[in-house]
Amino acid sequence: MKILLAVDGSAYTKKMLAYLTTHDETFSAHNEFTLFTVQSPLPPRARAAVGKEIADGYHADEAQKVTAPVVKFLQRHGITPTVVHKVGQAGESIAKAAAAGKFDLVMMGSHGHSALGNLVMGSVATQVLAHCTVPVLLVR
């Protein structure tokens, strides 16, 4: 099974990883795992001021800060994931990557906001559920 692990470095990512590694019967190392993180784009004026090369380096560094501890954790559990990072809107980017990569499942942590909270604040999980054609497992 191809599994896309959407990670952001939050406590909710840690809960999702704990769930993943404690359910070996379903999420064994025999699956194909891809870590996916999305960085918010820099404002256009800031990007223009620093230039494409520096902006791209900044996004790569920020993605590395999120994914490096996750890779280390998964490797201790016998899982060697592929790592992918994008710049853009998180919910939409995750849904597009899941479809384009022909993944069987998207796993991600969720804050578990109420429906009213999602209307007011928005939610990456809500956006993924709205746009994703692949099954999504939210871990709270």
Residue 31 gets which letter from DSSP? S
pLDDT tens digit sequence for 9-42: 999 999 999 999 999 889 988 999 999 999 999 9
CB atoms within 10 A of CB 114: 8
Task: Show the tokens assigned to 137.
Answer: 């497992």
Domain count, the chain: 1
CATH code for the domain in which residue 67 is found: 3.40.50.620
Residue 48, domain extent: 2-139
Averaged pLDDT, groups of 10, the chain, 140 residues long: 96 94 90 96 94 96 97 96 97 96 95 53 81 93
42-110-102 Cα angle (round to 5): 75
pLDDT for the residue numbered 110: 85
| Listed residue (37, 33, 29, 89) closest to 68, CA to CA | 37
